[in-house]
Amino acid sequence: MAVITDIADAVAAEINAGSFSQPIDAKREYLPVFELEDMQSLRVTVVPKSLTTLPGGRAHNQHDFAIDVAVQQKLQTTDNAEIDDLLTLVDEIADHFRFKRLSSFPNAMWLKTENEPVYAQEHLQELRQFTSILTFTFRVMR
Amino acid sequence: MADILEQASNWLEDQRTEHATRTVTYERGASTVAVSAGIGRTIFEVDNGFGIVERTESRDFLVLAADLVLAGSPVLPERGDRVREIQVATTFVYEVMAPGKEPHWRYSDPYRKTLRIHTKHVSTETT
């Protein structure tokens, strides 16, 4: 299997093994397309995003693997309290990976986390759905 | 002098409501009202800003504006309102929404007698 897929699986496993303010069942997907009907409960999706390879030394390269983690849920009210809880969860997931190596893929070292968008305003307005994307970058030297 | 086009349009809307509708429940929070609704559809094509045109189909409910009364007051549709449509033993729940900058409802006739409410299916309940 491709290394980026292994890393995405490791990210999903790491999330599922973690302890958060809400129960999570993260799944890896290649094509994260869902119907609104399927978004009534919390959905966390792990998607391989990109790979950048740079010289790392005479005999090896540094490979930076970007993995997207989408946190999504159809909202009932769109009031602050409901959204606050989901943003807290996003924060917790982001924190969970800081300065860590992935348990099931220890060669991958956390490099950075981006949260863009913190929440998708168009999803909130058009679909009354919370969508936040975390992009984790892991570095593998090989 | 009476506008005979308006009269004709109103007559047609009344005929549509009497003969081509089903009863659905319109909900906003705890407030509900049973209304006669014709079923239609609209296909939206929205440019997502990345060179891709997304095609979305909405289920439309055509309802007389005068029938949409919640908590004793006539109202216009709002995003997030829900429409419950029962078919045999299954309740299909639709939420009022429209993609992009499209309005979530519009008048269906020039005389503002009928509302065309755009929705998307959000859940199914089986009794």
pLDDT tens per residue, range B3-60: 999 999 999 999 999 999 999 999 999 999 999 999 999 999 888 777 788 888 999 9
| Alpha helical stretches, state H, B1-127 | 4-19
Residue B79: which of A37, A74, A128 has the nearest Cβ? A128
B82 touches chain A (CB under 8 A): no
Q: How many CB atoms lie within 10 A of CB B100?
A: 15
Distance of CA B105 to the CA centre of its chain: 7
- Architecture label for domain A3-141: 2-Layer Sandwich (3.30)
Contact indicator for B119, B26 with CB cutoff of 8 Å: no
pLDDT (0 to 100) of residue A142? 87
pLDDT at B124 over 80: yes
Counting Cβ atoms within 10 Å, is residue A110 exposed (0-12), middle (13-18) or buried (19+)?
middle
Nearest CA in chain A to B122: A37
pLDDT (0 to 100) of residue A57? 86
Ordered by start, the domain boundaries in chain A are 3-141
Say how many domains are in chain B: 1
| Alpha helical stretches, state H, chain A | 3-17, 80-97, 121-127
pLDDT at B1 over 80: no
Range of the domain at B107: 4-126
Tell if the CB–CB gap between A36 and B120 is shorter than 8 Å: yes
pLDDT (0 to 100) of residue A30? 94
pLDDT at B107 over 90: yes
Residue B95: which of A122, A125, A128 has the nearest Cβ? A128
What angle, 0 to 180 degrees and rounded to 10, lies between the N-to-C axes of helices A80-97 and A3-17? 120
Query: What whole-number distance in Å separates Cα of residue B127 and Cα of residue B125?
Result: 7
- Taking residues A34-44, what's their average pLDDT? 91
Mean pLDDT of chain B, nearest integer: 92
pLDDT at A7 over 80: yes
Q: How many CB atoms lie within 10 A of CB B72?
A: 6
Residues paired with A71 in a beta bridge: A44, A132
B110 touches chain A (CB under 8 A): no
pLDDT at A20 over 80: yes
B121 touches chain A (CB under 8 A): yes
pLDDT (0 to 100) of residue B53? 84
Tell if the CB–CB gap between B123 and A78 is shorter than 8 Å: no
A141: distance to nearest CA of chain B, Å? 34
Residue B122: which of A74, A125, A126 has the nearest Cβ? A74
Question: Contacts of residue B79 in chain A, CB cutoff 8 Å?
Answer: 125, 128
Tell if the CB–CB gap between B121 and A125 is shorter than 8 Å: no
Residue B123: which of A37, A78, A128 has the nearest Cβ? A37
- Strand B90-96, strand B82-87: pairing: antiparallel
Tell if the CB–CB gap between B100 and A78 is shorter than 8 Å: no
A37 touches chain B (CB under 8 A): yes
pLDDT (0 to 100) of residue B2? 83
Residues 6+ apart with CB under 8 A from B83: B24, B25, B26, B27, B37, B61, B93, B94, B95, B96, B117, B119
| Confidence (pTM) | 0.83
pLDDT (0 to 100) of residue B71? 93
pLDDT tens per residue, range B44-102: 988 877 778 888 899 999 999 999 999 999 999 999 999 999 999 999 999 999 988 88
Contact indicator for A110, A100 with CB cutoff of 8 Å: yes
The more confidently predicted of residues A16 and A127 is: A16
pLDDT (0 to 100) of residue B72? 93
pLDDT tens per residue, range A86-137: 999 999 999 999 999 999 999 999 999 999 999 999 899 888 999 999 999 9
Tell if the CB–CB gap between B122 and A40 is shorter than 8 Å: yes
pLDDT (0 to 100) of residue B52? 81
Question: Contacts of residue A35 in chain B, CB cutoff 8 Å?
Answer: 121
